[in-house]
Amino acid sequence: MCGIAGWVDRDRDLRTEARTVRAMTDTMVARGPDAGDVWLSERAALGHRRLAVIDVEGGTQPMEARDDEGRVLAAITYSGEVYNFRELRAELSALGHRFRTASDTEVVLRAHLQWGEAAVGRLNGMFAYAVWDVARQELLLVRDRLGVKPLYWTAGERRLLFGSEPKAVLANPLFTAETDAEGLAELFAVASAPTPGRTVFRGLRTVRPGHTVRFGPEGVRERAYWRPETRPHTDDDATTAARVRELLTDTVRRQLVSDVPLGLLLSGGLDSSALTALAAAGADGEKVATFSVDFPPDEQPERLGDWNRDSDAPYIEELSARLATVHTAVTVPGGELLAHRSIGLRARDRPGWGEPDVSLYLLFKGVRRHVTVALSGEVADEVFGGYPYFHHDRPLDTFPWLTGGSSPADLLRPEAAAWIRPREYAADRFAQALAEVPHLPGESGTERRARQISWLALTRWLPALLDRKDRMSMAASLEVRVPFADHRLVEYVWNVPWALKNAGGVPKALLRRAVGDLLPPSVLHRPKSGYPASSAPGYAGTLRALAEDLVHRDSPVFELVDRDAVKRRLTAGTPLPGPRAAPHPTGGLDHLLAVDRWLDDYRVRVR
């Protein structure tokens, strides 16, 4: 995986701006520790940091394509993996294209020369990239269908900046770190249901999943090239399960292609275990490397209701022994959590989820000592309906993973709340999301509700989850692939009736049926158990001490947050409200401290 950045300017000769473009890309060395370079022309400049995975020697970037006379036709800076690049390469070769490398980057570039913007519809993978068309003097930004890889941009009438992370754009002196009522509402009201396209920085946007952004002489044009198509499902039960198995098998096979060491993240749950079993079945006798997170004996995770039901270890041990994987448990002690506590903010460029961010980063850091690429089981719950809120009968009047939970907005000062309007903002964003749902004609009752929740999960919760995964993995220079995000699987399962996905009232019954012969019964029927949260007492104690110190100091955070409300909760020992609905004892403390550091360290101006 890589980091990309760039700049298009119709009023400035960018051939003289190498230092600034390098500064933009140098903010993302962790995303691309293997190499970095820039490509400059009069009106466009592209930067790249590379984590070499495919064609280690030949796939350097930015990459340009030339005609037979040596004139530059287009240039690309690309992050991601296209899993069908070999088939596309063969098709393009038959059409007369000649390739200098064995990389998927060159395939994507040549595909754009052949098919233009329509090329993106032919790609199977996770990607974010920018193509500069020399003849048209036009930039095209592209993001994959589910938004696995990030891409940020900001534009004026004559200029556009972009980068894989906000820090790349912030490194350009033309962009100033500011936030406003909308950005603060994203931070305090819908932190775990981010609005597509929006960020916490004023003027900075994301390329929405399944969208392109064009910037040419006529200005900015955004276009959706993909969304799940709603249509009647006509396959019977057995055919549906077989099709899911076929798609998963093909997806895992494609995503095991790598020129560097590769492994799988294994939690002992249904999703990661299914991927591991499919990988082992296709490994031609080679042992598969698997990895999991663990904690010291005196810091084992608390069991938090429906979220953390039981220990992963027995299930991991059983499956690893059955499949003969080479398993490594990465231990994350509380002292390491404290030592790396700032990684969430530094990697995200905004306040994140606190301890779960740090823990995930340390897991990825441990995995990176062994492999460069890992496959992960995320996205299965969104696709197959695995979360508890899919199975509740509560009124659907807000994002279901936030029902009954507190919010950081509860701590806002009255005057700040009156300006930001967090409750109204969250309600508006929820109504907007529901209005987007593509229903079948006449769809009602259970099927209508299930489709609504599926849409909310795929378009509002999943982006938050994928952002966390991307940012923590890239901070550790680890590429994480997510086979359940294959758009063919998402498109197919989107139209499977809820009665089949949830047959017999069993969550993810369809997935269990599709992979039932691959897994031991204990793993196959294991209920959902979320990523474990460390109970290290030193971590919670340190955060509490920092918060108690904070409330007695002048701090920019108290221009927004009610100091007395924080004091009262600290005195009473009541947890502060955090950005996630899942119970977490330190989430609110982490969020408060991170907002303070974000405003100060990033010199964010509130306006």
CA 304 to CA 306: how far, in whole Å? 6
Query: What is residue 182's three-state secondary structure?
Result: helix
Q: What is the pLDDT of residue 403?
A: 74
Q: What are the backbone dihedrals phi and psi of residue 63, each rounded to the nearest 5 degrees, phi first?
A: -120, 140
Element (H, E) at 306: none
CA 325 to CA 372: how far, in whole Å? 17
Query: What is residue 388's three-state secondary structure?
Result: helix
Q: What is the pLDDT of residue 202?
A: 98
Give DSSP secondary structure letters for 114-165: HHGGGGGGG--EEEEEEEEETTTTEEEEEE-SS--S--EEEE-SSEEEEESS
Q: What is the pLDDT of residue 303?
A: 57
Strands (E), 10-97: 35-40, 44-50, 63-66, 72-82
Q: What is the pLDDT of residue 309?
A: 64
What CATH number labels 237-392+459-524?
Answer: 3.40.50.620
The answer to whether residues 39 and 134 touch, using CB atoms and an 8 Å cutoff, is no
Q: What is the pLDDT of residue 282?
A: 87
Q: What is the pLDDT of residue 511?
A: 98
Give DSSP secondary structure letters for 404-440: T---GGGGB-HHHHHHH-HHHHHHHHHHHHHHH--PP
Q: What are the backbone dihedrals phi and psi of residue 120, each rounded to the nearest 5 degrees, phi first?
A: -60, -30
The answer to whether residues 307 and 582 touch, using CB atoms and an 8 Å cutoff, is yes
Q: Which residues 6+ apart lie within 8 Å of 190 measured at CB? A: 399, 425, 426, 429, 460
pLDDT, tens digit (0-9, with 9 covering 90-100), for 484-497: 999 999 999 999 99
Q: Which residues 6+ apart lie within 8 Å of 304 measured at CB? A: 533, 582, 583, 584
Of 175, 472, 172, nearest in space to 345 by CA: 472
Half-sphere exposure of 180 (CA within 13 A, CB side): 7
Q: What is the pLDDT of residue 501?
A: 97
Task: Single out the catalytic residue among 2, 360, 371, 557.
Answer: 2
Which tokens belong to 204? 């900075």
Q: What are the backbone dihedrals phi and psi of residue 565, each rounded to the nearest 5 degrees, phi first?
A: -65, -40
602 part of the active site? no
CA 170 to CA 204: how far, in whole Å? 10
Q: Which residues 6+ apart lie within 8 Å of 192 measured at CB? A: 399, 401, 402, 461, 464, 579, 580, 581
Rounded alpha-carbon distances, angstroms, from residue 514 to 371, 511, 547 = 29, 5, 49
Eight-state DSSP code of residue 477: T
Which tokens belong to 282? 């296709």
Sequence length of the chain is 607
Q: Where are the domains of the chain?
A: 2-224, 237-392+459-524, 537-606
The CA-based angle 157-215-225, given to 5 degrees, is: 135
Q: What are the backbone dihedrals phi and psi of residue 415, each rounded to the nearest 5 degrees, phi first?
A: -70, -35
Residues with pLDDT less than 50, the chain: none
| Beta pairing, strands 178-179 & 605-606 | parallel
Cis amide bond preceding 166, omega within 30: no
Q: Sheet containing 72-82: which strands, arranged edge to edge?
A: 63-66, 72-82, 125-133, 138-143, 211-216, 219-224
- Tracing tokens 């998927």 back to the chain, one arrives at 104
Q: What is the pLDDT of residue 299?
A: 78
What residues form DSSP beta bridges with 6?
46, 162
Same fold, 2-224 and 237-392+459-524: no
CATH topology of domain 2-224: Glutamine Phosphoribosylpyrophosphate, subunit 1, domain 1 (3.60.20)
Q: What is the pLDDT of residue 302?
A: 66
For helices 85-94 and 104-115, angle between their N-to-C axes, nearest 10 degrees? 50
CA 118 to CA 138: how far, in whole Å? 15
CA 377 to CA 15: how far, in whole Å? 44
